[in-house]
Amino acid sequence: MKLTSKGRYAVMALADLAKFNSVNPVSLRDISLRQGISLDFLEQIFSKLKKYNIVKSIRGTNGGYILNKEPEEIKLANILSAVDEEVKTVQCKKESKKGCNSKTTKCITHNLWDELEVHINHFFEQKNLKDLISNSSESRN
């Protein structure tokens, strides 16, 4: 199981935005420079985040992006969902009658991986942007 760069970068970029957006909109260029994420990739990510009302864009010379909600209201699960990131630990679909390896039964470790997926998704449901920016400032002290 692996999160794609899109999911990881979306969380990184929004944590950056949450940290620096207290007064003015933040440009994607600034996020790109601070986080080392391609500007083109950020534009794709923020297009999806805007569509899901997680961020809004401000036009003009001092324009950029701001969060549409307070950092504590934005769960990591919502961010990952907005950029089409799905945490899956098994290949098969839960509702499928077929097994994990296209056989008639589920694999012997299916329930283990399925339970892990539930824990991971619960973790992302419990964590929000405020948690990330609080933890990053605490780790520097």
Query: Using one digit for the tens of pLDDT, what is the confidence trace for 92-130?
Result: 666 666 666 666 777 788 889 889 989 999 999 999 999
pLDDT tens per residue across span 68-91: 999 999 999 999 999 998 887 777
So what's the pLDDT on residue 141?
A: 42
Domain boundaries, the chain: 5-140
Around Cβ 138, how many Cβ atoms within 10 Å?
Answer: 8
- Identify whether the C-beta of residue 12 lies closer than 8 Å to the C-beta of residue 37: yes
So what's the pLDDT on residue 3?
A: 78
Query: Number of H helices and number of E strands within the chain?
Result: 6, 2
DSSP 128: B
Handedness of CA 66, 68, 73, 76 (dihedral sign): negative
So what's the pLDDT on residue 56?
A: 94
Which stretch of DSSP H or E encloses residue 28? helix 28-35
* pLDDT confidence band for 140 (50 / 70 / 90): very low
pLDDT tens per residue across span 6-48: 999 999 999 999 998 767 899 999 999 999 999 999 999 999 9
Domain 5-140 -> CATH class: mainly alpha
